[in-house]
Structure 1
Amino acid sequence: MAQYMKIPPKAIVHAFPNSLHVQEMVYTEPLSCSVHGVERAEVGLGDVVVVSGCGAIGLGIVAAARLRGPSRLVAVDLNDDRLEVARECGADVVLNPKKDDVVETVRSMTSGYGCDVYMEASGAPSSVEQGLQCCRKAANFLEFSVFTAPTTVDWTVIGDTKELNIKGGHCSGDRGYATAIDMLRRGLLPTDKIVSHSLGLGDVVEGIDMVLDGKKSIKVTVDPQLE
């Protein structure tokens, strides 16, 4: 939030097209992480893909996965408003675990086999267990979220039962920023709904509370120019 930045001489600097508004630009870093996550998960043409967690990262994952040509793209979240945004990001099916049996739905749409790729972006231990059940044998499981406590699962499912490919994801990778900027330029996401709130410096605490609550906001930004 400073007026100036010192940029190292070897830093990679990306230019934004003039068509993008600052409220779109601020979503570049989270979206670049999402792009990297999809690359790590190796989403392929015709795959059945499940994305669990529709926050700023998860919604970006949905949009980036859509570009890979999955046959079915499923978004999972406990918040129906976020699921509606996920539809706009490219999800074919949206499921709320409070109302829907996610595992049974995924299995029924895949003739009982399960999904090819499961990407966990919620940080909920139950989402990890849900993912292990959703996956078919030899599926790719990507863990991209941050947890507040250790998560315990049956590793027999990962090894002996399904031979799953478990991958971790973090930050934006090598090409994330360039791809994210191009996605924003092409208008592939409803950025105005993902960057849901912009507050002034005097409302920082309110913004933090909104993020912690997570019911009425997705991505909250602070703009020092706002009063």
Structure 2
Amino acid sequence: MPASNSRMTAIVCHGPEDYRVEEVGRPVAGQNELVVKIGACGICASDCKCWSGAAMFWGGKNPYVKPPVIPGHEFFGYVEELGPGAAEHFGVKAGDMVIAEQIVPCDRCRYCRSGSYWMCEVHNIFGFQREVADGGMSEYMKFPSTARVHKIPAEMPLADAAVIEPLSCAIHTVQRGDIQLADVVVIAGAGPLGLLMTQVARLKTPKKLVVVDLMEDRLELARGFGADVTINPKTQDVDEVVRSLTDGYGCDVYIETTGHPSGVTQGLQIIRKLGRFVEFSVFGKETSADWSIIGDRKELDIRGAHLGPYCYPIAIDLLTRGLVTSKGIVTHQYDLTDWDEALKLANSTDSIKVLLTPGYRR
């Protein structure tokens, strides 16, 4: 067991635009807890929005982020220390490659007790509140006793293991769309999540899979991942193209993953009557739309998608079988000490997915 005063390098969030590389105390495993050595941790779009001070994270009387906290929820690692009872509790041993789901359920509220643990009323998530545990932008992190832990095959490549969390979210989102064989499906946004959703949606074999994005290189990746049609709104009329594919009716399923208000209004325009609109994105500000479209004009089925419940084993299996890949999506790796450079790149259009890999040397 490591000494309680041993130290490690971590990124510490102190407030908007105030994230620092620091030496902090290394966690120690208690009853039914694990300490893992981090293999990699992705920088998510929500991390970038949190850093920039987006109101949804910092606003109101009870802000979602409670600093100081080590951020990071797209992590995996290797079991370094097992607290008393942890081996039996989680079914793991020292050295195992593992991942914990991003939510740390309370296991007491009505949602946890009914099996809907990802909607836990307390809703602690790794990397945003320190009450339960810090996140993965560090050399080591602790998994509390209520964490949902999954083993990863030892032979899985680092980049694939690092996208298990976003892939799980992508799977849940696609499942919420209830895609049928005759459906025309539109995925708005070809960032990391949109590209993973494209691969998952292709496995559902819809009639047509359409991806919309402003960047040609990402649309090219989407085509390689199975998109039948790609649309760049800078040069094409999205509504016109989608209606040409659907006898003028509009798409059956619209998945919004741009995180931009225009992605919402675009979807309400191009989706057919009685269609299924799935909202995944985290927005940096409030979004306005003509709400009457949902009821009076189209009677739409609006579905949210949050986290990746019950999807981690599926994500691990799809990656293991090569049905989904991180190739082309994971574009850069940085050491923790290169945080400023890594964040700048992650917050730009010059990357898709940036990983923080402790000890990584370029």
- What TM-score results when the alignment is normalised by the length of structure 1? 0.94
Counterparts of 1:127-166 in structure 2, within 5 Å, are 127-166=263-302
Identity level (%): 49
* Equivalent position of 1:206 in the other structure: 341
* In the alignment, structure 1 residue 218 sits paired with structure 2 residue 352: yes
Instruction: Identify the range of structure 1 (112-121 vs 39-48) with the bigger mean alpha-carbon deviation.
Output: 39-48
Given residue 204 of structure 2, which amino acid in structure 1 is its aligned partner?
R
Counterparts of 1:116-127 in structure 2, within 5 Å, are 116-127=252-263
* Equivalent position of 1:195 in the other structure: 330
Query: Contact between 2:170 and 2:197, CA under 8 Å: does it hold in 1?
Result: yes
* Equivalent position of 1:180 in the other structure: 315
CA distance in 2, matches of 1:204, 1:188: 32
Equivalent of residue 96 in structure 1, options 197, 221, 232? 232
> Which of these two proteins has the greater Rg computed from alpha carbons?
2
Higher helix content, 1 or 2: 1
Query: Contact between 2:138 and 2:336, CA under 8 Å: does it hold in 1?
Result: no
Deviation readout 1:81-140 (Å, 9 max, x if unpaired): 111111122211111111111111000110001100000000111111110111011000
**TM-aligned CA deviation for residue 10 of structure 1:** 5.0
Query: Contact between 1:62 and 1:90, CA under 8 Å: does it hold in 2?
Result: yes
5+ residue gaps, structure 2, are 1-136
CA distance in 2, matches of 1:103, 1:57: 23
Counterparts of 1:26-37 in structure 2, within 5 Å, are 26-37=162-173
Equivalent of residue 71 in structure 1, options 207, 210, 217? 207
CA distance in 1, matches of 2:355, 2:255: 25
**TM-aligned CA deviation for residue 3 of structure 1:** 4.8
Deviation readout 1:17-55 (Å, 9 max, x if unpaired): 233111110000000000010111212222110000111
**TM-aligned CA deviation for residue 2 of structure 1:** 4.5
**TM-aligned CA deviation for residue 4 of structure 1:** 4.4
Given residue 32 of structure 1, which amino acid in structure 2 is its aligned partner?
S
* Equivalent position of 1:58 in the other structure: 194
Instruction: Identify the range of structure 1 (180-189 vs 5-14) with the bigger mean alpha-carbon deviation.
Output: 5-14
CA distance in 2, matches of 1:100, 1:187: 33
CA distance in 2, matches of 1:92, 1:225: 40
**TM-aligned CA deviation for residue 13 of structure 1:** 2.6
CA distance in 1, matches of 2:172, 2:324: 17
Given residue 231 of structure 2, which amino acid in structure 1 is its aligned partner?
L
* Equivalent position of 2:106 in the other structure: none
* Equivalent position of 1:42 in the other structure: 178
* In the alignment, structure 1 residue 20 sits paired with structure 2 residue 151: no
* Equivalent position of 1:170 in the other structure: 306
Query: Contact between 1:88 and 1:190, CA under 8 Å: does it hold in 2?
Result: no
**TM-aligned CA deviation for residue 191 of structure 1:** 1.1
Query: Contact between 1:85 and 1:190, CA under 8 Å: does it hold in 2?
Result: no
* Equivalent position of 1:114 in the other structure: 250
Deviation readout 1:61-85 (Å, 9 max, x if unpaired): 1111111120100011111111111
CA distance in 1, matches of 2:245, 2:279: 23
Q: Secondary structure at the match of 2:151?
A: coil
Q: Secondary structure at the match of 1:159?
A: coil
CA shift in 2, pair 1:2/1:128, >3 Å: closer
Query: Contact between 2:166 and 2:193, CA under 8 Å: does it hold in 1?
Result: yes
Given residue 200 of structure 2, which amino acid in structure 1 is its aligned partner?
A
CA distance in 1, matches of 2:262, 2:200: 24
- What TM-score results when the alignment is normalised by the length of structure 2? 0.60
CA distance in 1, matches of 2:190, 2:203: 17
Q: Secondary structure at the match of 1:166?
A: strand
5+ residue gaps, structure 1, are none
* Equivalent position of 2:220 in the other structure: 84
